[in-house]
Structure 1
């Protein structure tokens, strides 16, 4: 007797087959009387989206490699116009989450220095966004940054924080990893 091991994932509630690896699986399901309705893949385009009118969006990111660490922030208005950008290389190798959080703080400092009042914080780090929203457990390396962030947030009329997929955060992703960024522009 020949044993054939086939990996199949079922969504039992909807009786949908998520993955069909071979035509043999299709035939096997038919023999068992199972109707297969393959789920369609949904492909969507992810791009940067401007903030609401009268708001500024601060996109931030952290970068960590074997020999360096850094973070950056980019501020743009509702027309997509670049207002400011900054990147910082970190001398000590911190966790990527702390670097992501420092990128958020850097964006907030830029926004405050420009006298902006409505800021939409966006990061591809769900952990850093959770910390901004007061959720999760901060590591000790982020305590001072967290208190600074709270103080800065009080200076804005309104703020919000949301997660964005990496593809919607590409400009600042590049900036955070740039080794020789000239500073604030």
Structure 2
């Protein structure tokens, strides 16, 4: 994990992560106007640790433009923000929702394998969360992933599935973007990518960003 070539790869992944964040922010700003009975409210949002005795699994998916080149990534963190495990996946070609669900599947499987039994799963995709919580049909286009997650959730452990804003999920976003730079398949990191520590430190220092949301009047 030493050497110039590795550092260059990490820098490329960080740049891609920032471009992805910027592109998605622009897409959000281009959405249709909110209903007339709402108003915009600014919130300061940032990473929040899991409660004592729990670990946090943060996952994310990434799809590069029209190519549909897909990747996913995630990490397991303790309540002090330390990275206990991390992974990136190159998924080939699939939809962004499939990538999000694949990341959640790998993250939960990894947490179980490592012996954690109180897990907070964080995703910034409300669509993926809705599928996880409401899945009933194996024939659904995302039924394979949803079924696997459903099976994981029935095991003898505690899992809470939570939606978080993208501004609270930069570490997972970085690892998902890193997946585009790796060979096809899932890659686990015994020693976390040194570039990941930038985002871990960003979180534990209590940094926040302004998020505008629609509030009902």
Same-fold call, TM cutoff 0.5: yes
What CA distance in whole angstroms lies between the structure 1 residues aligned with 2:145 and 2:51?
Answer: 27
* TM-score (normalizing by structure 1): 0.71
Residue 94 in structure 1 maps to residue 94 in structure 2: yes
Residue 61 in structure 1 maps to residue 60 in structure 2: yes
| Counterpart position of 1:4 | none
Q: Flag as ranges the 4+ runs of structure 1 deviating above 4 A.
A: 9-13, 135-139
CA RMSD of aligned residues (A): 2.7
Please give the residue correspondences for 1:36-185 in structure 2 after superposition, counting only pairs within 5 Å. Answer: 42-66=41-65, 67=67, 68-91=69-92, 93-134=93-134, 140-178=140-178, 179-180=180-181, 183-185=187-189
Structure 2 residue ranges without an equivalent (≥5): 1-33, 190-217
Pairs aligned (count):
150
TM-superposition CA deviations, 1:6-26 (whole Å, max 9, x none) = xxx99679xxxx6xxxxxxxx
**Higher-helix-fraction structure:** 2
* TM-score (normalizing by structure 2): 0.61
- Higher-RCO chain (CA-CA 8 Å, sequence separation at least 6): 2
Q: CA deviation at 1:84?
A: 0.8
Structure 1 residue ranges without an equivalent (≥5): 1-8, 19-40
Are the structure 2 counterparts of residues 136 and 42 from structure 1 closer, same or farther at C-alpha, using a change threshold of 3 Å?
A: farther
| Counterpart position of 1:27 | none
Residue pair 1:72, 1:86 contacting (<8 A) in 2 also: yes
What CA distance in whole angstroms lies between the structure 2 residues aligned with 1:169 and 1:125?
Answer: 11
SS in 2 for 1:43: strand
